[in-house]
Every structure is written in C-alpha cells, then in structure tokens.
Structure 1
C-alpha cells in the first residue's frame, strides 16, 4: 500500500534529544535515539532478550539500554553487553538507514542497500537565513493517500476552512494538473479578489494593506513517496501575481511530509516556510498557530472519511476534474509499489 524503498520523515531532532523514541513507520516498529557523538541511530524496537520495546529504555554514553533487564545495544543492532551475561551469541536486530537533514530525521524502511541519502527531498530554504519556518506534527487515523488527495485538491478550503483560507473564488477558478516524471503539479490562480482572513494577516506581516484586491495562487507539488509542497500567496492586484516583486506580495511554501504509520494511520509533519520578514519571530509564531488550526480542521474530516470507507469497502468513489492531482499522484504510487513488489519477488526467487 505504500513504498518502503523511500525516505520518510520519522521525527524532528528535538523528539530524540534526551531519550529514545519509539515510532511505527510503514508498519515497522522502530526506535530512534542518538548514539555516540550525537549521531542519530534507528533500530528495530525489540530487545533480543525478552522482546521488550527498547524505546522504553534510556541512552547511556551513546548506548541504548533496555529498560527491562539492562541489555545494551549498539547502533548496528548488535548486543554490546548485559549485566552478568556473555552476549557473544545474541542475535542481531535490524538497523535502519537514518539521516538527520533539513531539520528532520529521515528513515528508510525498505532495502538498506538502496538507501542513497542523495534521494532525500531537497529543501533549499531549510538552511537559508533569508527564510523562516514553523511547523508541527499531527497523528491522524487515515490512509496516507487520503491526505495526499486532500492536499492536491484545495477546493475543500471553501468549506472546511471557511473562516481562515477558504473563499468562494476557489470554486470558480478551475485547477490545471500536469505530470512531470514522478512529480504531479496542480495549480490554481485567482485574480482581483479580496484576501481571506489568514492572508490578510500575512499581508499585514509584510507591511502591506489588507483591504485592497489581490491576486492569489496555489501550486501543489506531489513528490513520492508522500511529500506535498504547496506554493501559496497573494500579491496586490495588478502587480504581477505569482511573479510580483517580493515587496508587493506575501508568499510561502506549505510543507507537508506524510509518513504512513499503518494502512490507516499517519504521522503528518506540517509547516510553512516563508521568505518575507523572516526575522519576525512573533509573525512566525502567529502563522504557525493559524496554520495549526487550519490543519486541525482537516483532521476530523479525514478521520471520519476513513471510518466511512472502512464501513463501506464495496462503495466506489467518484473522480471529478478537481480530483486530477490526487488521481495522478495515486497512479505514480501504484507504479512505484508494483515495481518494488516485482523486485522483491525476483529477489526471493
């Protein structure tokens, strides 16, 4: 149901700064912690002694110590020591490729031999002082593909987010969808409209008037396995829209990393990166708070949608023109999953 030979965001660095973290990723139960010299490690969350979760233990001098009987694990999955025991014959547990980059911890849940760090999603703004970022994490009980559908069709903003970013003009501006290799892009442009509340706040944050007509854009980019980056913004009407001078617009990148936990649950890492007024920490906090509320509105809808789909598995769903982005994203995923399974079958043979 999801590709495993891919890099997924597992956690933020702060989540493992002082203790191990257990997290299920693509149905793999993994423990993350900082080994020697503070380098991130990822192991199967299973003590080879009695099967206790290693995530319930602690980290001592870069060694993961089981909280049940004190067994010590190395970053390679080998047992290092255990009080009163010789451990030479203890079986290894699985270790996972893991990289800390761009302010996230990334894990590869599939074939470790294919885990090339160069394939981690590029985030050119992440280490750029001219940009600011604020985000968070939601644990949502839904299929990861439902969240991709949600983000690739922003028509729902008019209804789910009517008090923040929604407006009727979204319905009136038909989206255009195209596929470039494995990337799917859906875009929508609105001209000479009034900004909704969230974007009025953003305009003020860039010292622009919030009571004048604007041109608005939404460009959603899906990249497998489950990353969606959305270029969004408003510019004072007639100043060039998307291509307007930075002084005439408020624009951002909505960051969405969707990590499958199981077939019906996800870890959703959300945030917004912006290049206007990046040193204003109060503005960053305000945008993060507003965006958190917006994504919180999606949460109930997606979870209830998932429950409906499980209750009526035989029901087929309509595919409308507004669904093109999600439909094309699913086709990309289906090709990748089929290729991965085919490779697994050949390897097994």
Structure 2
C-alpha cells in the first residue's frame, strides 16, 4: 500500500518571506518535513533537516555560530551543506554524520524550498510570482502559518470565486458572479479561469477603489501554476471603456496572490498578498487594503479561513471522496488533475528499476 502524501515533493514551495529569514534559526514544516532556515553571512539562505544526526533534537532549538548550526543537546555542529564539522569529546568525525540540506532559492520576496530530489531542483522552475516583487505592483501581504486544512482546499477556494457571493457578502461578493459565464483553459502545468461581468453595479470594495459612480465591467482571471501557486487578475472599469478588449486605463486593477505550501496532510502555510498597479505611492491605501483582507477575524481572508478549517473538520468526520462537483468546479478540477499527475509521475519514478538492476 502506498504511503504517498497528497503533495508532490519535486516542486518549489514558499517557505517564508525573505524578511522573515535572518541570522537566526527559523523552523518550518513543509510537506511533512521539518526544516530549519537561516541566513548565512553572505546573505544566502540555508535550509537543513531540523533533526540532529545524533539524537534527533530539532536543530532549531540550538544556535547559529557563524554559518553553522550548533545542536542544543550535545553540541554537534553542522555546516550549511548539512555535514557535521564537530563532535564533542572526540577528534574523529563519523563520515555518515550529516543532515539533509534542502535546495533554497530567493525570488519574488519569498524563500522557496525544494523538498524532493535535490538533483531535480532547477531554479528555472520557481513559479512566476513577479506581481509580488514590489515594483510595478505594490502591496503588503503576510502568511497564515499552520492553517488547519488540506492545501488543496485553498486551491479549490481560489479557483472558484462564486463563493464570494456568500462568504464575502458586503465587500467583494456580488450575484453577478453566479450569473456570468466563465471559461477554463489549461496547459500541462497551468489552468486559467476567466470570467467577465458586464454592466453591473460594483460591490463595495471595488466601488470605493474606483471612486466614480455608474455601472462597471468586472473581470476575474485566475491563473494556477501546479502544484500550489495562484494569481488572480481582478478589477473593474466603467462600462464600455474597452477593458475586455485590453484597455484598462479607465479602471482599477489588482491581483490576489497565493503561494500555498503543504505542511502536513491537513495543514498548510498560506502566503498571501493583494497588490495593485495604481496609486502605488499611497501607503495609507496599502494599509487599508491589507487590513481589509486580514482584520481580527473580520477580513476577507479571515472569512475564507473559517470556512476552510470548518470544511476540513467535516472531511475528517465524514470522509467521502471524491467530492460531488458542479460546473463551477471546473478550474479546481483541472488544478487537482495536474497535482495528481505530478504525484503519479513521482510514484512511477520511485518504483522504476535502476539501470544496474536491469
């Protein structure tokens, strides 16, 4: 019987915001693997297995000494490559004394970790998350660490925005989301859900950002990159000003960003941001949008997380798979299909006979 988890290992996952990793030890659980992160003197990030070779105490309970980690139990020292460089009370170091070093890359203001086969960790495969760079698009997000749900439930949530009508009524929800047709396109590793709502009254969030009365054309273009990154191109413009044809100059444009990292089978880390390409120097607006998304349980993302964690509890108590699906689930189904393909490929690779055995 396979013990494979519901997340591919051969992929880049966001482990932390760059500003969170300093000259100190930071613990994370990523794809059921305990990892300790720290920044080296040259600025590069190191990521090691968070368990001492000797007695398995988490290395994150130790201390950083120059660019090496000192175990807090018996003082074994490990360098950034995971190799033990010191053992107490003996001069000879056991050559097997090492911990796994995970490939780590910094890009788009995030630290990305590859928990699978290190030989396959190509930095060119880091997801396109350039909206988060803080240049053309601005915004300040955050992370919900240890969100108590399967990471795929977050993907389901973001790939089908009809839930806004019910979960986010009074801010971004609108009946037009239910009534407007949508298209789903896909490649081997991406899926895109596109919905246009023409000539509608804007919901409160967008009406305030637009700042002009009258009906609007609203768009939601959600882009999924397997296994767990989503970018939602969203916005409104005054009706008939050409946004659908490519001219968004009369409107306001934002993007919701999600880099979702599995922690365990039933928990995940949700790195989020909402960025915009207008009024980029308006720090007060940045804070207002950030607060609107996370605000002592009353923000847009807070509302989602209540639903997601309640859904996970219900799944745990009433396990039945697959879920029943509706037409609105088309984007989420394509996303899950891509994840399943990645899992199947890893399973095949794991059981492929070696050349020596052949």
Asked if Structure 1 and Structure 2 have the same fold, meaning a TM-score greater than 0.5 normalized by the shorter chain, the answer is yes
**Match 1:156 to one of 141, 153, 163:** 163
Distance 1:69 1:201, change over 3 A: farther
Taking only aligned residues, the RMSD between alpha carbons, in angstroms, comes to 1.8
Structure with more of its chain in helix, by fraction: 1
Higher mean displacement: 284-293 or 225-234: 284-293
Give ranges in structure 1 of 5+ residues lacking alignment. Answer: none
Q: Distance in 2 between matches of 1:265 and 1:199?
A: 32
- Contact 2:155-2:332 at 8 Å conserved across structures: yes
- Contact 2:215-2:239 at 8 Å conserved across structures: yes
Written as runs of structure 1 = structure 2, the 5 A alignment for 1:62-77 is 62-77=67-82
1:92 aligns with 2:98: yes
**Match 2:207 to one of 200, 203, 206:** 200
Show CA shifts across 1:178-207 (max 9, x none): 21232111111101112112112322xxxx
- Contact 2:87-2:93 at 8 Å conserved across structures: no
Q: Distance in 1 between matches of 2:17 and 2:130?
A: 18
Aligned residue number for residue 6 of structure 1: 11
Written as runs of structure 1 = structure 2, the 5 A alignment for 1:230-241 is 230-241=232-243
**Match 1:48 to one of 48, 53, 62:** 53
- Contact 1:235-1:242 at 8 Å conserved across structures: no
Aligned residue number for residue 123 of structure 2: 117
Written as runs of structure 1 = structure 2, the 5 A alignment for 1:1-349 is 1-86=6-91, 88-89=93-94, 91-127=97-133, 129-138=135-144, 139-203=146-210, 208-209=211-212, 211-243=213-245, 245-292=247-294, 293-314=299-320, 316-346=322-352
Show CA shifts across 1:152-198 (max 9, x none): 10000000010211011111113221212321111111011121121
How many residues of Structure 1 are paired with residues of Structure 2 in the alignment?
344
- Contact 1:177-1:185 at 8 Å conserved across structures: yes
Show CA shifts across 1:46-102 (max 9, x none): 112221111122222222222233322100111122454435216111110011111
Q: Distance in 1 between matches of 2:290 and 2:8?
A: 30
Distance 1:82 1:316, change over 3 A: closer
Give ranges in structure 2 of 5+ residues lacking alignment. Answer: 1-5
- Contact 1:174-1:322 at 8 Å conserved across structures: no
- Contact 1:64-1:72 at 8 Å conserved across structures: yes
Q: Distance in 2 between matches of 1:85 and 1:288?
A: 54
Q: Secondary structure at the match of 1:261?
A: strand
| TM-score scaled by length of structure 1 | 0.93
Distance 1:61 1:213, change over 3 A: same
| TM-score scaled by length of structure 2 | 0.91
Distance 1:314 1:130, change over 3 A: closer
